[in-house]
Amino acid sequence: MTHQKPEYPPRAQLVTEKWGILQSLRAAQRNLLEIIPEIALHQPIVTGKMGKPWHMVMDPDAIRHILRDRLDDYPKSDVTKNILRPAIGDSMFVAEGAHWRWQRRAAAPVFSHRNVANLAPIMSAAADRSCARIGAHGGRAADMYSEMVTATFEVISDVTFSGDEGFDRSAIHRAIDGYIDSTARVSLFDVLGLPTWIPRPGRMLSSGSMKTMKSMADDVIRSRASKGEDELPDLLDLLLAGEDPETKRSMNPSELRDNLLTFIVAGHETTALTLGWALYLCAFDEAAQDRAREEAQSVLAGRTATESDIANLPYIRQIIDETLRLYPPAAFLSRTAQKSDELCGRPIATGDTVMLPVYALHRSRLLWDDPDAFDPDRFAKDRKVDRFAYLPFGDGPRICIGMSFAVQEAVIILATILSRFKFTRVQGKDPDPVLILTLRPEGGVWLNVEKA
């Protein structure tokens, strides 16, 4: 029996009082969303001090200035780099300036529309296998977030390491989970602004699993480089063949490995979160779920979704977009100002931390109508959204390179699943949004499952 539907899906409890460093640190280590002031939902900028001055920006024009117009003046913060480098080195996600630009240009063709579309059959096959596993629950409750992690990890490993039997997928998966659990939490040293060369104790704990993950990736890259080309290249083949058209530079083995691991870590975790939250929201709003199922069944007629179906599944795509608004996987971005500046009338000094709390931006009372409500029609074709008010993939030159891949995968899997199953909420199991490195549903997404 499901309990009465609340007015809004779960939201984080934002801070309503002034906290000291230790109280803020404890909150950040528990759930980074909890350090966002509630007032950030009602104004374009919030300024404070925690070790050093910080500014949270929720104004689209100021965000455009940071992410597009003055990109080089607002690189990723030292805290962000310190958290990410143990796993993904100086890959394009972390690199800045010229080193980032040549990597981005070399990798851009990998995610062309043609190459992404060619990978769609792998996504469709994973959707089929996921449906088989869901159906095996026989009408019982299941953790759909866990299932979506399995499905999206199958996709990312198949499109990355297809045919490489020596690649231990379960070991990679364990290493990623260990990294997020032990390495990605903010340290007191980070809050105090201590130099990055001083070791953060928590980040030393997962070094063994990181080394194992990198070693396996290195082995596969060496093995693949000695093989001939396959008829349909996978992501690793495309990266090996990549070249910056301006400098003619190609990635060396360590750069290949770090970028490959970036795609693996980001590519399955973020899509799994999107799908897990989307299924919860469909169970939360059964009318939206029924509408989505009717669309999917009408288009698919019992078969599995493919890339060519996506254009005919607009409401499914709207559910994905609205899910990314309410529960953006990358819900908090952080930059360090390299020059003095002004944002929303506030002076910004060199060295100040400038934060983009995407979670608060997406729920701003100044930018959205009824922002805590689940309303996929916000993203209907005739509705306009300021692109810098909606940042599930970032924006500007550093917009997520895998955005089209992620959206294609999410629509294919969600449409296939909703066409075959109906989901309802489990009493007492509504998930709370908790942000460590990504915005996860605490305790999973437990839903009752029955055949549609």
| Catalytic residue set | 270, 393, 400
Collapsed DSSP state (helix, strand, coil) of residue 92: coil
Evaluate whether 116 touches 404 at the Cβ level (below 8 Å): yes
For residue 311, give Cα distances in angstroms to 11, 302, 354.
Answer: 31, 18, 38
CB 18 within 8 A of CB 37: no
Give the SS3 label for residue 445: coil
**Which H or E element spans position 410?**
helix 403-420
Per the CB < 8 A criterion, the answer to whether 265 and 87 are in contact is: yes
CB–CB of 153/133 below 8 Å?
Answer: no
Q: What is the C-alpha separation between 193 and 383, in angstroms, rounded? A: 43
The residues, any chain, with a CB within 8 Å of residue 313's CB and separated by 6 or more, are 295, 296, 299, 305, 411, 415
DSSP state string for 347-381: EE-TT-EEEE-HHHHTT-TTTSSSTTS--GGGGST
The answer to whether 400 is a known ligand-binding residue is yes
- Across the chain, how many H-helices and E-strands are there? 17, 11
Please name the helix (run of DSSP H) or strand (run of DSSP E) that holds residue 194, with its range, or none. Answer: none
H/E element, 187:
none
* 267 and 406 Cβ atoms separated by less than 8 Å: yes
How many CB atoms lie under 10 A from the CB of residue 328?
26
Q: Which residues on adjacent β-strands are paired with residue 142?
A: 447
Enumerate the known binding-site residues for heme: 400
Enumerate the known binding-site residues: 400
